[in-house]
Amino acid sequence: MKLLYEGKAKQIYATDDQNQIIIHYKDDATAGNGVKKGTIENKGILNNKISALIYMYLMKHGVKTHFIKELNERDQLAYKVDILPLEVICRNVIAGSAAARYKIPEGTKIDQPIYEICWKNDDLGDPLIADNHALAFKLATKEELAYIYEETDKINKLLIEFFKTMGINLIDFKLEFGRLKDGQIVLADEISPDTCRLWDSQTNEKLDKDRFRRDLGNIEEAYHEILKRLTGK
């Protein structure tokens, strides 16, 4: 298989169908825009499974995505998209960079979600931007931006409920969107403990990548716990 792209946590391979790609999940982990590097044992296997389960739930509820199917332990089949150079961050509780930026204690609840967009640009460290920047820099059209915010709101509501039934608070998460060949925008990339903050509802224990970012230990166990709650096994 021809490697098309290698990112921090995944590899993308071509398939015989030019409209489809294979996403291969690695165990590599990075944080702080690549400054901290490491591996989390079995992370690729866990995130492949976790992301597939979350995508299937979202698709069952009408969210359009690039996901086709799980192929094996580490690989998924997906439609090929051009990823928009935007990261959409949704916050339900203040944490991470928002806690630091606004000097609000981590864990502070907010009455309505905050939606942020960041420009995917490694050299600049993915800066937070306003809609006007996205339009002026031609990162997305006005219609695409409106659709992305609408979908993010829908996905947030669905995911809050989904995780709530498993005793997990969805603190914040990052989404990416891509353009299909016909121009349609769909949800793309993974949704996993690498891209969400997930806290146990009872104890507030962190069950996500912050365990790696902040050297809290028991990282693989936390990812396992998320999969266990998703599958009930």
Task: Please give the single-letter amino acid code of residue 121.
Answer: N
* Smaller CB separation from ligand UDP, 126 or 151: 126
34 in the Ramachandran plot: left (φ > 0), alpha (ψ -120 to 50) or beta?
left
Rounded CA gap, 118 and 90, in Å?
Answer: 11
Among 10, 49, 174, 211, binds ligand UDP (CB under 6 A): 174
Instruction: Kindly state the smallest distance separating residue 105's Cβ from ligand UDP, in Å.
Output: 14
Which range in 40-48, 60-68, 139-147, 192-200 contacts ligand UDP by CB under 6 A? Answer: 192-200
The answer to whether the Cα torsion of 125, 130, 132, 138 is positive or negative is positive
* Smaller CB separation from ligand UDP, 22 or 98: 98
Among 144, 151, 172, 225, binds ligand UDP (CB under 6 A): 172
* Smaller CB separation from ligand UDP, 122 or 182: 122
**88: closest CA among 175, 194, 196, 190?**
175
* Tokens encoding 171: 């603190």
Among 26, 96, 113, 131, binds ligand UDP (CB under 6 A): 96
* Smaller CB separation from ligand UDP, 34 or 167: 34
Residue 89 touching ligand UDP (CB under 6 A): yes
List the x/- string, 206-225, binding to ligand UDP by CB under 6 A: ---x----------------
Instruction: Give the Cβ contact number of residue 140 at 10 Å.
Output: 21
Instruction: Kindly state the smallest distance separating residue 60's Cβ from ligand UDP, in Å.
Output: 23
Residue 49 touching ligand UDP (CB under 6 A): no
* Smaller CB separation from ligand UDP, 17 or 101: 101
Helix (H, G, I), strand (E, B) or coil at 99: helix
- Do 94 and 112 meet the contact criterion of CB atoms below 8 Å apart? no
Residue 54 touching ligand UDP (CB under 6 A): no
Among 197, 206, 211, 229, binds ligand UDP (CB under 6 A): 197
Q: Give the total residue count for the chain.
A: 233
- Pairing mode of beta strands 128-129, 86-93: unpaired
Rounded CA gap, 233 and 225, in Å?
Answer: 10
The answer to whether the Cα torsion of 97, 116, 187, 12 is positive or negative is negative
Which residues of this chain interact with ligand UDP, rule CB under 6 A?
A: 87, 89, 95-98, 126, 172-174, 195-197, 209
